Structure 1
Amino acid sequence: MPAAEGHQEYIQKKINPILENLVTQLLLERPEDPVPFMIQWLSDYVLTSISPSSRIASPRVITQSHTPAPAGIQGAAESSSAEVTRLQSEVDSLRAYGNGGANGGFTLFDRYVKQLESKQAELEAAASKSLPCAPSTTTKGEEDSADEDSSDEDDEEDVVDELPPVPANYHRRGPRASVSAEAYGDWNKKRTDFVAPVHPKSEEQAARIRSVLSQSFLFMSVDEKSLDVVIGAMVEKVIEPNQRVINQGDDGDVLYVVESGELDCYKKLPGEEEEKLVKTCTEGDTFGELALLYNTPRAASVQARGRCVVWQLDRETFNHIVKEAAASKREKYETFLKSVPLLESMDSYERSKVADALRTECFKAGECIVRQGDVGDKFYMLEEGECTVYKVYVQGQEPKEVMHIRAGDYFGELALLSNDPRAATVKAKTDCQVLSLDRRSFKRLLGPLEDILKRNTARYE
């Protein structure tokens, strides 16, 4: 399929390198609000990684003459004039591109423009002072020596004329060296004969691992059956105090989940001698997952503070179970979300973001999903089953049935919109499966739909 191959090539060459670096930095930094962080990162990425030839000349090209100067006074003057014209064009291009950026342009572009203007002024001065050259009296050997000296001087000039060094704090969020991640979908069919390794564990050990994995965002998409496979494939490892578990830059084939103890993550930034402590992993945290998610070298070093117990999972099991579960979850939820009237105004990208944030919860018939008067911190969409909504209008009286909720309907939004207690009770009429969004994800992802949600609140009255 030529079209599919073309899509794959585009994703691998154009999209993956950017997304890998961006997601890697997000997972390392974990900003409270990722949107400004992503905007800043992409701005920095444009300034440092964009191909200059498509818009502007590179620093090295800017500081060199594009064509050899013709001999003589007229030739030198023509060459200088042409160079001045070219540099003026570069300055205008940079100004136009820089002014298109956020907050009135970028500092790096300002430096670039100043450097071009300085070079332009030097060339104009040189053109105005062009003098006849004295006849050459050097021998062939002297000419060769002079050529070598000239080459050395040119190299030194290149170094001096390059852009000023990028501020040190840029490296904290800048792009890392790209290593292509594995493609998904039809382009990367997984082995159908894969069998995960099994390492025997006691029921108590399996329960401990399950408790730890339930706290990790990486395993949110894994269903109960697949989670049993993951638990069976994990290997217990005891880490002694001050022992290094992984080293920055090494290849990695396993990820770790912390059961007990504390481990410090250190990162050596470009141009710095000492490692910097970036975070501490405690019970329920995972580390080493970036190498498996994006096929990159270890992004940081991890060392135990004291005695620790961790569980390690191999790459192949991770790829077949955890990554596949995440991809399947997105595909499944995106299909369901298309059928939800509330979300019909969203495009596919917006729906995919909602799908990634959803969590599945199951309730038996008769169970209470939300209770009137409770503090609400979740928004629900009913995927399967049927629910009944009850409301108490007068304290001490029996609740009255208000409405029925069926697949594709939503509830629980009132408490999140107004920060008031739950306005009604919702019970499962049949066995139900619901998709939930926490308060923060609700505000972030469904904020644009707030007016629609508020208009529909009358249905509970």
Structure 2
Amino acid sequence: MSVVGALITDAETAGGDALTMPPGNVNSDDLEKLNISDAKKKYVRDTLNPLLEDMVMDALFCAKLDQDPTNYLLAWCNLRKNTVSTQYDLLLDENKQLNEKINQCGRALGSLEKAAVEKRIQMEEEALAKQEQEEAAALAKPVEGEGEAAGQDGINPESGEMTGLETDDELLLDDADLVAPNRNAEKRRAVASSPRSRGLSPGPVMEGEEVVPVFAKSDSQRKRLRNTLVRSVLFEKLSEESLQKLIDAMEEVPLEPGDVLYKKSANADYLSILDHGEVHLRDDDLADPNEQLVKIVTPKPLNKNDNNIIDEMAVLHQKNRDFTVVCTKESTIIWNLTRKNYNAVLQTTNKSKRDMILEFLNKVPLFQRIEQTKKSQIVDGIVEREVKANQIIIKQDAVGSEFFILEKGSCVALKKEGEEGEEKQVLEYTKPGDFFGELALLEDQKRQCTIKAVTDCKLLVLNRDAFNRLTGGPGALHELAEKKTAYQLIV
């Protein structure tokens, strides 16, 4: 019988009516029969009973049987309370020390990453300066035989005109067109607008395109920033290419306690991501300083219900800041992404994506007679779809309405002859731009093969309804389908 059960039984035997219980002896198994709430039963079972059992057992062995046990029990309770309190204080102190060590390690890691980035930037600048010196020296070095052919000081002996050398006007024009690089500007860790820091080629810049800057980051910083972005509804559906370009465009802002990132009501044209440290969001309009603190933001790498992004709506539309953001910890690191760079990245990646899809469509025989303007409209109806390895994309004999283009991964076409026949591989799709299921855009008919993903795949999908809506009907496809002997359609 439990101690509490015994005490309750004694109370009932003595005529107590505090608890209503069934007649007879009450043991630990009878606890569920007591007319008390489940919460109280749990409290009795998990908290009260173990404590009372310890107290009774200690009293039986230590208290004097011929004396009133009250004083002993009071002393026992005080000792138990002080012991638990001391242990609690020790745990609090240990926890405080561990948190301080974690913060020290974080600060040390941040300093090392910062030093590594600055060292890499310094090395790149030195290499660039050396390259420019070598190019200047190569230009200044006379070509062998040049002086003899041109005459002294580059004057043609016959005509007396300058040959091989630029005139003063030409020199002035070239000097005016050249802008001397300012190597101290954005020296913190910006690599201007050149992707040199990651060994990328910026490629040709078309007229009207925004040049998105690239700011150097360590691999660990890029990983943390990506993990933050994909937890946001604003960024979770973006392609990996877009995510990486957005990370490239984020600029680091180091803060120390007391530094203000921005004030309430200021123009909001960038979002911020807290990478390390801590900031407070304050409402300065409140008169009481104790009520101004709205939120404390700290890095939350494992919490999927929250992220480290501050004012992410600032990249979507014009607005004013809702709060003042103040740094409260040493070595705090913030990454800013401006609305201008956000829009430029999406515009660039969207155009790149459209160009890629158009290139894929131009390789599909059924689309070759469609005008380019119509193809551009078709691109608007194409959606991305991701499938896992071994997933069935198309089932043989099923009626289909979708056309597929492989963007990433590999698939195979499997064909079964007869109901009892064995499936055999008849085709393999491994290259971006490989396509299947195009006849589904023409009419309802059974699929000729099963298409199965060999690896995780990313597909571009166009259904018949979207195709007809965007182009006004199959038209040219039907015309070409009548001559489909020109190539073999199996899906």
TM range (shorter): 0.3 to 0.5
Q: Relative contact order (alpha carbons < 8 A, sep ≥ 6): 1 or 2 greater?
A: 1
TM-score normalised by structure 1 residue count: 0.34
- Larger fraction in helix: 1
Rg bigger for which structure?
A: 2
TM-score normalised by structure 2 residue count: 0.33
